Structure 1
Amino acid sequence: MYNDLKDKVALITGGASGIGKAIAERYAEEGMKVVINYHSREDEASELVESIKAKGGEAVAVKADTTNEEEFLSLFQKTIDTYGALHVMVNNAGMQKDIVSHEMSTDEFDKVMNVNLRGTFIGSREAIKHYMEKKYKGVVINVSSVHEIIPWPHYAQYCASKGGVKLLTQSLALEYARVQIRVNNIAPGSINTPINAENFSTEEKKKEADGFVPMGYVAEPEEIASIAAFLASKESKYITGQTIVADGGLSLYPSHRNWEYDELAESFTDEIK
């Protein structure tokens, strides 16, 4: 669909499964050369590379922990060594964990922040550094979440990290707009990915999840990948610093109220006993 993407190079963190995998497949279909970063899903990353090659595409898989700066820099250098350049950086690696906030340790908080926000910063910084050196109008695409907008009980660290990604995106976009380096953000809602598998593990749970979305269904990763292709292409060349919310209308009526304390609330008073 986007002819200008042919032979361009993309690096996708967390690219072995879910949204990252769908983006890698879509970019390969567009004729791009794809570097698929993975942390622990080596088999899935290898299978994805072989699948892309079998269809005539170009791809390599590179292991790296994106919270480790040294490993991330090695990943970036591997991309340059393999394909000679980088045109599109996709910061997709992320994690979430259900933890009651007053029981959350600082280590648990830091782990999510490091993956979701620190890793996104390192990836963005290195890509922009490359674009500045080459004087190239490059693209950075961050994958955030609808929870950069909607608060979510038990996921305070996740929401904080994704809110940070939103403002990081806007700040970098403004800083480098004059040299035409574009930085944008995708905020998915309910997507059928491995990280959300438990929420869709039974027919009843799937029906409930679908019903929670105004449009009536949980999206597939390919629907997010189509946005990533658009943002990488020249069709979006006048768009920077923006978040495209792809949530089926979920953010139009956020109702993530925490019900677990309803009974407990009756025992709370204005005084310390």
Structure 2
Amino acid sequence: MSDKKTKRVVLITGGTKGIGKEIAFKFAEHGDQCIITYGWGSIEDSDFLNEFKAKNLPEPFLIQSDVINNEDTANLMNEIKTRFGTVDIFISNVSFANLVKGIDDYSEAALLKSIEYSCWPMIEYTRQMKTILGKYPKYVMGLSSHGPDRFYVNYDFAAATKTLNEVLVKYLNYHFYDEAVIFNILRTRPVITDSLLMTVGKEWKEFIEKYDIPGTHVDLEEVANVAYIMCSGLMDGIRGQTINADKGYNFIEGYSYMYKNREEFGI
């Protein structure tokens, strides 16, 4: 298991906000060196780095890199090679999909762009690490949600990309088995982030808070804890799986639960 005496190099794409940032905090707490990518103009570098400083955490290496730009990817890997030599853990966190309010928003180009951003980097980055760094990471983890199984407003293409990742991770685990690369997907219930509210609308959070429905979302730190333990060495027997961080609520949610607690919820 990793501890503070064992520094590993952790690459987190799109790790400056929400789940990605919380995962970076968690690995940094254990002394790991985080490499965090972001898109143009999405953050102020100094403000972000000061968040780590305020928590007395090791400063991450922050670099702009577009996950679908091949030149950016090559430059990123070469920079990592120069500074750190390797990547031990890769968290494929970037997720982008067009909002779908109705069938008129369906287009082949929009769907393919969603796949390009949300699915392909997990594969291409892993391959480029071998090409440029000379070895694969030991752990590769993608992020998913319950969108493939449950309706979320505007979420059609996002859910489609999550489904694709959950299928591909099984085959990737097979193809990379002899290379000792462990692929898994971390699937969560809704986590209240700017990204989520941009997708489903800020009114969603207000609705949940109004009825105070327990278990509707999980906390950022809860997700980060699962991500860390899956890459700790203690869970290496789990490969090619989609791990649910849902606090067990998936089993009890629904009309029956709301009916049983209707007085408490005020409905």
Normalised TM-score (structure 1): 0.79
Structure 1's 179 and 150: CA in aligned 2 closer, same or farther, altered over 3 A?
same
Structure 1's 87 and 48: CA in aligned 2 closer, same or farther, altered over 3 A?
same
Who is 2:174 aligned against?
Answer: 174
Whether the aligned pair in 1 keeps the contact of 2:215 and 2:249 (CA below 8 Å) is no
Whether the aligned pair in 1 keeps the contact of 2:90 and 2:137 (CA below 8 Å) is no
Displacement, 1:34?
A: 0.6
Structure 1's 119 and 178: CA in aligned 2 closer, same or farther, altered over 3 A?
closer
Tell me how far apart the structure 2 counterparts of residues 144 and 97 of structure 1 sit (CA, whole Å).
16
Where do 1:109-128 residues align within 5 Å? Answer: 109-127=111-129
Displacement, 1:109?
A: 2.1
- Is 1:50 the counterpart of 2:36 in the alignment? no
Tell me how far apart the structure 1 counterparts of residues 205 and 101 of structure 2 sit (CA, whole Å).
27
Displacement, 1:120?
A: 2.5
Where do 1:1-273 residues align within 5 Å? Answer: 2-3=2-3, 6-40=6-40, 42-53=42-53, 55-103=56-104, 104-127=106-129, 133-134=134-135, 138-150=138-150, 152=152, 154-197=154-197, 199-200=201-202, 204-207=206-209, 211=213, 215-249=214-248, 251-252=250-251
Tell me how far apart the structure 2 counterparts of residues 169 and 123 of structure 1 sit (CA, whole Å).
14
Tell me how far apart the structure 2 counterparts of residues 12 and 185 of structure 1 sit (CA, whole Å).
14
- The percentage of aligned residue pairs carrying the same residue is 24
Structure 1's 13 and 251: CA in aligned 2 closer, same or farther, altered over 3 A?
same
Whether the aligned pair in 1 keeps the contact of 2:16 and 2:37 (CA below 8 Å) is yes
Q: Which amino acid letter does the alignment assign opposite residue 43 of structure 2?
A: D
Q: Which amino acid letter does the alignment assign opposite residue 3 of structure 2?
A: N
Displacement, 1:101?
A: 4.6
Displacement, 1:40?
A: 3.5
Tell me how far apart the structure 2 counterparts of residues 5 and 122 of structure 1 sit (CA, whole Å).
31
Displacement, 1:154?
A: 3.9
Secondary structure (helix, strand or coil) at the match of 1:236 reads coil
Runs of at least 5 residues in structure 2 that lack an aligned partner in the other structure: 255-267
Structure 1's 209 and 181: CA in aligned 2 closer, same or farther, altered over 3 A?
farther
Runs of at least 5 residues in structure 1 that lack an aligned partner in the other structure: 256-273
Tell me how far apart the structure 2 counterparts of residues 62 and 99 of structure 1 sit (CA, whole Å).
31
Structure 1's 233 and 130: CA in aligned 2 closer, same or farther, altered over 3 A?
farther
Structure 1's 208 and 36: CA in aligned 2 closer, same or farther, altered over 3 A?
same
Displacement, 1:7?
A: 1.1
Count how many residue pairs are aligned between Structure 1 and Structure 2. 250
